A and B are shown apart, each in its own frame.
Chain A
Amino acid sequence: MELLKTLVPSLLDGTKTTIFVFLLTLVISYPLSLFLSVIQNLRNKVINFIFGIYITIERGTPLLLQMMFVYFGLPYFNITLNRMTAVIVAFVLNYTAYFMEINRGGIESIDKGQYEACKVLGYSKAQTFIRIILPQAFKVTLPSVTNEVLALVKDTSLITVLGVSEVLKIGRSAVNTYATAIPFIYVGIIYLVLTSICSFLLKRLEMRMNYYG
């Protein structure tokens, strides 16, 4: 108990950083993925080819490598970012790609009759997408988005390699300092609480979206 009392302030600080990276990544990457999915849906061959390369790289290489490239690699191209900016850039680029793929699956699952109904009812392409397709695709993709959000909570632990003081780094320091594995358990509990809160909120959202079949 004494150890817990000693560690609480630093663990809370680390948790704040974890939540900050998580929230900032989510609020940038998900809306950005929706915007890019709108562009992707215009079916421009050149743009979609570029998107294809981007998604292949982001999904085909480890996030850890991408983060290291942004922080340690970009300075060789005269682009220097501070630690936190590098983390956010790498996370946003990575999660936007995953969300785009989830969105694409959702959009492709919508019956083509919905597009035809929109066409005969005079909807423009943008109106069709925003008012009819996207709301339905959102419901279809919500379980996959939930999985990705939970993965994001856990992936924030990767930023420890750039020396950012998030909850895992603080836990590891405590393990070294106090020569006990207990801080790892505290860190695990913090991740469990964070993922449980996300899971609960997104399940509630899923239930709310069940207003239609």
Chain B
Amino acid sequence: MDKKIILDVKSVFKSYGKVDVLKDVSLEIKENEIVSLMGPSGIGKSTLLRAINKLETIDDGIILLDNVEVHNVSYQKKIGLVFQNFNLFPHLTVIDNCIQPAIINGMNKDEAKLKALALLSKLKIESKVSNYPNQLSGGQKQRLSIARACMLSPKLLCFDEPTSALDIKSIEDVKGIIQDLSKDMAILIVTHDEKFAEDVSSRLIKMNENGLVN
């Protein structure tokens, strides 16, 4: 049976002034797929990732997430994003970084706490629940960022340059984490790290001036 399409990007255009960044970009990602998006700097990979996450508007085209147009809803809970520099909330503890966004999205506090503890345990940072982000290593910060993004059980989890702030050991760990996560969701990774992309992805897409090449 064919797997369900989770992300469907159809003919997306985006320009900044006279500079066309995304020209007729289309992309499909199916459930449980790990897709890595590669290409030279400034080609529009991050812009596409940001547009999928509603951090950028698009000039034309459609982005469907689980058959719902992303830019037509106020907030899309079915998507999670792990930022390149994590963007954790420095004044909240590890567990509150996970719990607060979930509660804001309507999750019961007890349920949020249980889910956060389960996720932090799965990501092996359960011993750090009372710490603050500045007390974590780069790898631990990324795990926390992943846990936070997974609190609402997204159908698509996006990673922006997941290896850029990590050492070799942490990169190996994150490979395993991403592969494990893909059992429950689709994964989209924007990266420059070719080896990482080849090792972790089920599909690798290269982006150039003419669009996307599988």
Which residues does A use to contact B, with CB under 8 Å? 111, 113-114, 116-117, 119-123, 127, 131-132, 135-136, 139, 211-213
Contact = CB atoms under 8 A, between A and B. Distances in A.
A123 B81 CA distance: 14
A114 B104 contact: no
Given A212-B90, A212-B91, A213-B90, A122 B104 contact: yes
A212 B135 CA distance: 8
Nearest to A132: B89
Contact of A122 (B75, B87, B132): B75
Nearest to B89: A132
Tell me the dominant secondary structure on chain B's binding face: loop
Contacts of A213: 90, 132, 134
Given A121-B105, A122-B77, A212-B134, 12 more contacts: A113-B83, A113-B85, A116-B87, A117-B87, A117-B88, A117-B89, A120-B80, A122-B75, A122-B105, A132-B91, A136-B91, A213-B134
25 contacts: A111-B87, A117-B87, A120-B54, A120-B55, A120-B80, A121-B101, A121-B104, A121-B105, A121-B148, A122-B75, A122-B101, A122-B104, A123-B104, A131-B100, A132-B89, A132-B91, A136-B91, A139-B91, A212-B90, A212-B91, A212-B132, A212-B134, A213-B90, A213-B132, A213-B134
A116 B134 contact: no
Interface string B63-95: 000000000000101011101010111110000
Contacts of A114: 87, 89
Interface of B: 53-55, 75, 77, 79-81, 83, 85, 87-91, 100-101, 104-105, 132-134, 148, 152
Contacts of B79: 120
Nearest to A135: B91
Interface centre among A127, A139, A212 (most CB of B within 10 A): A212
Given A119-B54, A122-B105, A123-B101, A113 B87 contact: yes
Given A113-B87, A114-B87, A212-B133, A120 B77 contact: no
A122 B151 CA distance: 12
